[in-house]
Structure 1
Amino acid sequence: MELFYRVSFQEVVADALMLVEERELSSKHALERVFKKVAGKDREKARGLTHAYVFEIEKWRAKIDFIINSVLKGSSVEDLDLYLANLLRIGTFEIHFRKVPPAVATDSIIRVVKERFDFSRAKFVNALMHSIEKFDVEKALKRLKERDRIEWLSVRFSHPRWYVEYAVEILDYDETVRLLLSNNRPQRYYVRANTLTTDVDSLRDYLEENGVKTALTPVPDVLKVLEYRTPVTKLDWYKEGKFVIQDLASAYVAHVLAPEPGERVLDLAAAPGSKTFHAAALMENRGEIVAVDYSYDRLMRMKEKMKLLEIKNVKLVHADGRSFRDKEKFDKIILDTPCSSSGTYRQFPEVKWRFDEKKIKRIINVQRNMLRNAHENLRDGGEMTYSTCSIRVDEDEENVLFAINRVELELIDYPFSWGDRGFLEIGEKVFRAWTHRHDCNSFFIAKLKK
C-alpha cells in the first residue's frame, strides 16, 4: 500500500509506534500526528489498518518481544535501535499474528531497513526475519511454562510481569487468568446520555433506529452497546453532543459524588473532562465547576467539547492539582488522580509497558499530595470522591487509609448499588469494578468527607 512518495505502510506504523513509546502518546493521538503528514488515495484505508496494527502490536508486545529475543541469542530487542526494533515487531506481528506470507512480510521490512539504515543492517534483519518465521512459539511457551509459570502468563497473555504477580497476590491464579483473558478481549463500549439535551430513553430509541442495539446498565444515564451497524461516533447525535462515549465505572463517579444544582464543585485532575461534564449535567448547568488540569492542550480540547455539549457552568484553570487553591472552599470535589492505569489495558494496551515499581511509587506520592490539597480546598462538611483506574491496593485502599489517618478525611459508608467491595479493613466501604467481572475498566471509588 503506497501512501505518498517513498513512504510505505510499514513506515507509517513504525512512526506511530515511535510516538507511542518516545512521547507516551495514546495510539489514537499518535495516529492523529502521523496522519497529518500522510496523503494519497489510500489514506483512510491505511489509517484504519494502521490503528489495528499499532493497537494489536502494543497489546501483544510481550509475546512479540519473546519471539524476537528468542532468536536474537545473547541480546534483546531493547538493545536495538528503537525504530529498527519496531520494524522487527511489525514483521513478527505480520508473520505470527496476521499470518501474512513470510516472504511478503520480510520483503516489506527489508525495503524500509535499506532505506532508513544500510545494507549490513538489512542483511542482519533479513537473517532475523527468517529465524522468526521458523520459530515454534507454542513449543517455546510450553518449555517456559514448565520453568516459570508467572513468566509464562506474562508472555502468553502479554502483560508486564509485575502486573501478573500483583494480580495473583490479590486475586488468585485462576482468577488472574480470567482477568488477563478479559484484558485482551475487544473493548466494550458504553454511551452516556447528555441529559442537558436529551434523556436515556430517547437516546436508546435513537440508537435502535440507527441499528445500535443497547442494554440498560446500573448507571441510570449510561447504555451498554451490544451490536452496531455503524460506529456510534459516525452518528449525528454523537456529532451534536447528545451523547458521549464513557466507560461504565468512570460514569459512576459523578453519581456517587451527587453534586447538586447551585453547588461549587472542584475537579482537581479534570482532563479529558468526562467526569467534569457529567457533573455539569447532573447540576443542570447551575452552580460552578472549577476544572483544573496541568495540561493546557487537554484543557483546550475540553473547551471545544464543552461547546458541543452545551455546558455553561465550568471554569477551566491551567494549574497543578497538587497546589491549586481558590479564594473560596468547595462543596464537592472530584479527585480522579493520575495513576498506573492498570485497569485500562483493554482500552489502552500501550500503558502496560509504561510503568514499573519505581514509577508507581512516584505516582502514589502525587496521589497523596493531591489528597492533601483536596482536603485544603474542601469546606467543613464537604464531600469528595477519590477514584483511580488502577487495580493496585497501594493506589486505592492504602491511599484512602492515608487520607483517613494522615489527612483527617472521613470515609463515608456509601451504599454502592453494584460492583464489588475492596480490600483491607475499609474494604466494605469502597467500590471496585473488574474487567473480567463487570465488562468495563477495572476501577476504584471511595467517597470521603471533611
Structure 2
Amino acid sequence: MPDAPDLTARLLAVQRLLRVEDDGAHVARLADGSHPPEVSRRAVDFVAGVTRQKRWLDFVLAAFVRGRLQDLDPELLQVLRIGAYDLLIRETAPHAAVNEAVETAKAVLHRGAGSLTNGVLRALDRARRAGTLPQPASGDLADDLAVRFSHPTWTVRRWLDAWGEGATRAFLAASNAPATFTLRLTGGADARAAVTARLADLGVTASPSPWADDFVEVDRLQPILRSGLLDEGTVAVQDVAAGLVVHVLAPQPGERVLDAASAPGGKAVYAALRMGDDGEVAALDVSEAKVGLIAGAARRHGLSSIRPVKADLTTWDGDGAYDRVLLDAPCSGTGVLGKRADLRWRRSPEALAELTDLQDRLLDAAAAHVRPGGVLVYSTCSVEAEENDDRVTAFLARHPGYSLDPVGTLVPAALVDGDVYRALPHVHGTDGAFAARLRRSDP
C-alpha cells in the first residue's frame, strides 16, 4: 500500500509545480500551513527540488518518453519529474519511488497514466543502475554543464568566462546542494550554550559558525519556525554571509545609521544589536507592508533605536546626515541560488542590465545622506562582477569625494578579497555576498 502522507505530499507538489509553471508562482510562497507538517515538508522538498533540477530531469526523461515531453499532460509531466527527482537526486529506493509515482499518476489522471509512469521510471532506473543514463554531449561546454547542473546556459557561459571550468563546476554543484541555514543569536556568543540546548530539545543540531561567534549552523529549520523562538526574538534566521555585511558596516554606539533598503529588517536589527541599542538606525523601505515587517522585527528584539521609514530612497530628502549608510541593493541573487529554487529561471541578461542601472541610481541617492568622514557600505547577494566590483568602480568615478576604504580585519581574513568582503558558496559554504566600504572625504 502507498504511504498516505507521501502520496498526499506528491499530489500537493503536483498542484504547486503547475502553479510555478503556469502562473509564475514563487516556490517559497506556496506553503500555506494547511497541511500536517510532515506532508508540507515533503511537498516543499519535491517542489523546490524539481524546480531546481528540472532541466536535468527533463533531459533524462526525454530519453525514455516517446514523443516530446511538452506533449504530455501537464500533470503527468510533473509526476514524472517528481519520480525522476526521487530516483536520481533523493536516491529513494526504486520500488518505493516508482510505486508512489504510479499511484500519484492514477490519482491525478487515470490508470493509463500510471502504466506510462511505471514504464518510464523503471526504464530510467535500469539505466541508472547500469550507469548508462544519457549525458549532455553537445560539444558546447556551457550548454552541457547547464543541462547537467540544471541552470540557464547564459549564466553558465558567464561564469565559465569569469572563473574557468573548475570553479564553475564547484559553484553549480553548491547551488544544487541542500540548503544550509544559520541562526543569529540575539544574546550574542554568550547565549550559544543556552540556545543550543533549546534547539536540541527541538531535535535540531546546532554548531558554531566558523565565521562569526554569534551565529550557529543548524541542520533543520522547520522545527525552529514552529517553536516560537523567532517570535520571542531569541534567534533570527539569517545567513552568516549576510550578517557579516553588518560587520563591514561596523556601526558604533551613539551613531546615526541609515539602512537604505532595509526590509525585512534583518541587517537593521543586527546593526542595532551591535550598537547596544544606543543611537539611531533609520530603516528605509518604499513599501508600507515591508516597513511593518521592519517594525515587527524591532519589537521582537526589544529594540528602541530602530526607526522604520516609508520612503523611496531615490526621492527621499532625508533628515540630516548619517555616520554610516548601508545600501543592501536589489540584485540578481546569484549568490543565493541554493535557497531560492526558482530564481535561476527568473533572470535574464536584460534584467541584469536593468539591475545595474538601478544599483547606480540607488548608490548615488544613498551617497547624499553620508556625512563628511562617514562611510557608505554597498552590498549585494550576487556573485556577478557587474553588480559588485564594477558598480563600485563606476561609483568612485562619479564621486571623486569618495574612496575605497579597505575592510581590513572587520571580517575573517578568508573572506577578504583585496579591499572588499566577498563570500562564495563553493568556497566558504555560505550564501554569496559582497560588500565594499566607501569613505566620504569631501566637506
Alignment TM-score > 0.5, same fold: yes
Measured in 1, the distance between the counterparts of 2:217 and 2:314 equals 35
Measured in 2, the distance between the counterparts of 1:125 and 1:340 equals 40
Q: State TM-score, norm by structure 2.
A: 0.83
Q: Deviations over 1:260-280 (max 9, x none)?
A: 223222222211211111111
Contact preservation (8 Å) 1:217, 1:224: no
* Residue 444 of structure 1, aligned match among 419, 426, 434: 434
CA change 1:329–1:205 in 2 (3 A) is same
* Residue 57 of structure 1, CA deviation: 1.2
Q: Deviations over 1:187-215 (max 9, x none)?
A: 23222221xxx231232344146534422
* Residue 277 of structure 2, aligned match among 261, 270, 285: 285
The equivalences for 1:223-238 within 5 A come to 223-225=216-218, 231-233=223-225, 237-238=229-230
Match of 1:118 in 2: none
CA RMSD for the aligned pairs? 3.2
Q: State TM-score, norm by structure 1.
A: 0.82
Measured in 1, the distance between the counterparts of 2:405 and 2:372 equals 14
* Residue 335 of structure 1, CA deviation: 0.7
The equivalences for 1:33-432 within 5 A come to 35-36=33-34, 43-70=36-63, 77=70, 86-94=78-86, 96-97=88-89, 98=92, 99=94, 100-102=96-98, 104-113=100-109, 127=116, 130-131=119-120, 133-135=122-124, 136=127, 139=132, 141-142=134-135, 144-145=136-137, 147-194=139-186, 198-208=187-197, 210-211=199-200, 212-225=205-218, 231-233=223-225, 237-408=229-400, 409-416=402-409, 417-422=412-417, 428-432=418-422
* Residue 443 of structure 1, CA deviation: 1.3
Secondary structure of 1:60's match?
helix
Structure 1 stretch 290-299 or stretch 203-212: which is displaced more? 203-212
Measured in 1, the distance between the counterparts of 2:166 and 2:114 equals 39
* Residue 150 of structure 1, CA deviation: 2.7
Measured in 1, the distance between the counterparts of 2:54 and 2:17 equals 11
Measured in 2, the distance between the counterparts of 1:20 and 1:319 equals 32
Contact preservation (8 Å) 2:323, 2:370: yes
Q: Deviations over 1:51-83 (max 9, x none)?
A: 111121122122122234556677564x88866
* Residue 2 of structure 1, CA deviation: 6.6
Q: Deviations over 1:328-368 (max 9, x none)?
A: 22221111111111111222222121112111111111111
Secondary structure of 2:431's match?
coil
Q: Deviations over 1:300-336 (max 9, x none)?
A: 2333222211122222233333333313222211111
2:193 is aligned with what amino acid?
R
Contact preservation (8 Å) 2:407, 2:421: no
* Residue 224 of structure 1, CA deviation: 3.5
Structure 2, unmatched stretches of 5+, are none
Contact preservation (8 Å) 2:106, 2:113: no
Secondary structure of 1:93's match?
helix
2:413 is aligned with what amino acid?
W
Structure 1, unmatched stretches of 5+, are 115-121, 423-427
Measured in 2, the distance between the counterparts of 1:24 and 1:384 equals 36
Measured in 1, the distance between the counterparts of 2:123 and 2:86 equals 14
Secondary structure of 2:422's match?
strand
2:108 is aligned with what amino acid?
V
CA change 1:266–1:389 in 2 (3 A) is same
Q: Percent identity?
A: 24
CA change 1:261–1:350 in 2 (3 A) is same
